[in-house]
Amino acid sequence: MKRKIMVLTLGAILLALGHHAEAQQPAGKIPRIGFLSSGRERDAFRQGLQELGYSEGKNILIEHRDHEGINERVPSLVAELIQLKVDVMVVSALPSIRAAKQATKTIPIVMVATQDPVAFGLIDNLARPGGNITGLSRLTRELSGKRLELTKEVVPGMSHVGVLWNADRSTAFKEYEAPARALNTKLQSLAVRGPNPDFDGAFQAAVKSRVHALVIIRDSLLSLYPKRIADLAIKHRLPTMHEGVADVEVGGLMSYSTSDTESFKRAAVYVDKILKGTKPADLPVEQPTKFEFVINLKTAKALNLTIPQSVLFRADKVIK
């Protein structure tokens, strides 16, 4: 009888200690995600996590860092996230992905890449990326020709296009050269540099060169100034083609791209799989199957530009 009482008492003590330990579980046990990208993209990523059952501050933590278009800041921000011992790192834009790849071989990295990740040496191949990097390739650069084709349909007689781009991203402008030659269209380079890009000078050069339209190459620098770029384009009566929907929503004329929201919600799916034990090397890199063509009719009206019905019918979204 005494032995039975002792066993029951010991069991009660162990149970109480177990409950106490669970209540005292350190916050560090909650998965910590390092997120190096813009606030808008973070919101889409957070939405994706919520749909998977995560609640920020309860069962997941997000350490958000934004280099605000200044690539020189990227390595230090990556190092900061590594020091925080994040469980997974989510990065977009080539400089950030490269910096993360160079900084760690152990922390899983989920990328949202605009360039071909195989061609740029980020992964071995799409089916089995190898190493600690996986994620999505958005095919942003591969859509350059389609953007020029659509612009030419909207701007009759277009033979001269200005390309507004970040001079620190040396490969971006080149992606439009071959498609432009195929369309017998001359390209005018309108390069700017951070941290304080000279947009006024770029637009003055565009007007002086008499370009018929502008292509805005989206990156971490130019994405900070979508409204300013849109306003200047309207002021100078220049139709614009953008690489992201958000730029059209604030006044750009049109865009052709993958969905920002869907891309970063998909990144949340990758994070979820990694937190549940899947290795990045075993997760194939995903490519988009759907693209959005968006037109802002309010901007078209401000430019005194009539969008052909044949083009409007193909738009996935028309802003009126």
Query: How confident is the model at residue 71, as a pLDDT?
Result: 76
Question: Along the 320 residues of the chain, how does pLDDT read in single tens digits?
Answer: 444 434 334 444 433 433 333 333 344 579 999 999 876 788 999 999 999 999 998 999 999 998 776 778 899 999 999 999 999 999 988 889 999 999 999 999 999 988 889 988 899 899 999 899 999 998 887 899 999 999 999 998 999 999 999 988 767 888 899 999 999 999 999 999 988 999 999 999 999 999 999 999 988 789 889 999 999 999 999 999 999 999 999 999 999 999 888 999 999 999 999 999 999 999 999 998 889 999 999 999 999 999 999 999 999 999 99
pTM above 0.85, yes or no: no
Sequence-ordered alpha helix ranges (H) in 169-244: 177-182, 199-209, 226-235
Considering only the top CATH level, what class is 141-257+292-319?
Answer: alpha beta
Rounded CA-CA distance 102/132 in Å is: 11
Query: Cα(first)–Cα(last) distance of the chain, in Å?
Result: 83
What pLDDT does 170 receive? 63
Q: So where are the chain's domains?
A: 28-139+260-282, 141-257+292-319
pLDDT, tens digit, 9 for 90 and up, residues 36-58: 987 678 899 999 999 999 999 89
Distance CA 175, CA 13 (A): 68
Distance of CA 206 to the CA centre of its chain: 27
pLDDT at site 27: 45
- Sign (positive or negative) of CA dihedral 43, 47, 49, 53: positive
Give the whole-angstrom CA distance, residue 58 versus residue 226.
Answer: 34
Q: How far apart are CA 57 and CA 279, in angstroms?
A: 25
User: Are 28-139+260-282 and 141-257+292-319 equal in CATH topology?
Assistant: yes
**DSSP annotation of 286:** B
DSSP structure class, residue 204: H
pLDDT at 55: 94
The pLDDT tens digits of the residues spanning 7-36 come to 334 444 433 433 333 333 344 579 999 999
Quickly name the fold that domain 28-139+260-282 has. Answer: Rossmann fold (3.40.50)
Tokens of 251: 């006044």
R_g of the chain, CA atoms, integer Å: 24
Element (DSSP H or E) covering residue 110: strand 109-113
- Residue closest to 144 by CA, chosen among 189, 112, 114, 113: 114
Cα gap 290→64, rounded to integer Å = 28
